[in-house]
């Protein structure tokens, strides 16, 4: 993990993991070195999808990028009864992802729409370096867990069993979406006419929350003299 003295005022080094369009990444890019996210620098963007538009956003901002896809790992670890492909390929992928991340000596890792569940093959070495990992999740803590949260919230709204959902930034642990929340925001579903309306409403709120959560997490590192 990168270390710096308070006197040097070196910016906090951020590595961002993405999978798609990168609109939340763009929010972070826009916020760096402003009052919203002072003394912060994105040192690399890593995507698990080669065609992720977020990589182009990073290029425009002159941020280093890396594509880290799963397919080579699946080929390297063929599926059979003794070596289930999904498990071995995933662990090999995650172990090398951890090496990629740690090579840049980031102070914090931000999962900004990263669509892969991170196993202990990634979490253990990164946390061993005392580098926190935070994630944007489209639900309040302990409410909707795992994938498809927005769709599930919409289905419950249509069934009359839910009026609100939310978003949170939380620390990543092995138990999916159960890490300590850093900041949360409740979002009303009422007034949405479709799932697409709810998705747009949630994404609009995400852009502010990911910046706020990253700022809080970095401030916590500064209080403990880790950045």
Catalytic residues: 137
For residue 138, the 8-state DSSP code is: S
The DSSP H or E segment spanning 137 is strand 133-137
210 within 8 A of 29, measured Cβ to Cβ: no
65 within 8 A of 45, measured Cβ to Cβ: yes
Query: Which distant-in-sequence residues (6+ apart) come within 8 Å of 60 by Cβ?
Result: none
Q: What is the rounded CA–CA span in Å between residue 50 and residue 54?
A: 10
Query: Which distant-in-sequence residues (6+ apart) come within 8 Å of 172 by Cβ?
Result: 111, 118, 123, 133, 134, 135, 179
**Pairing outcome for strands 40-47 and 64-67:** parallel
């Amino acid at each position: 993990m990168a270390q710096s003295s308070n006197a040097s005022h070196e910016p906090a080094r951020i590595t961002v993991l993405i999978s798609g369009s990168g609109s939340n990444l763009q929010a972070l890019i826009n916020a760096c070195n402003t009052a919203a996210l002072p003394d912060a620098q994105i040192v690399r963007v890593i995507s698990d999808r080669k065609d992720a538009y977020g990589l182009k956003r990073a290029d425009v901002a002159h941020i280093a990028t890396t594509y880290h896809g799963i397919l080579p790992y699946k080929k390297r670890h063929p599926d059979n009864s003794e070596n289930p492909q999904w498990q071995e390929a995933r662990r090999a992928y995650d172990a090398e992802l951890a090496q990629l991340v740690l090579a840049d000596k980031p102070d914090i890792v931000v999962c900004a729409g990263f669509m892969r569940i991170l196993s202990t093959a990634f979490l253990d070495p990164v946390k061993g370096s005392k580098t926190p990992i935070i994630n944007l999740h489209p639900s309040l803590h302990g409410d909707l867990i795992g994938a498809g949260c927005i769709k599930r919230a919409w289905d419950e709204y249509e069934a009359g069993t839910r009026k609100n959902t939310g978003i949170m930034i939380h620390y990543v642990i092995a138990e999916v979406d159960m890490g300590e929340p850093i900041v949360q925001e409740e979002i009303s579903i009422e007034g949405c006419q479709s799932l697409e309306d709810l998705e747009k409403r949630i994404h609009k709120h995400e852009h502010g929350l990911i910046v706020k959560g990253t700022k809080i997490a970095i401030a916590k590192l500064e209080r403990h003299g880790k950045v």
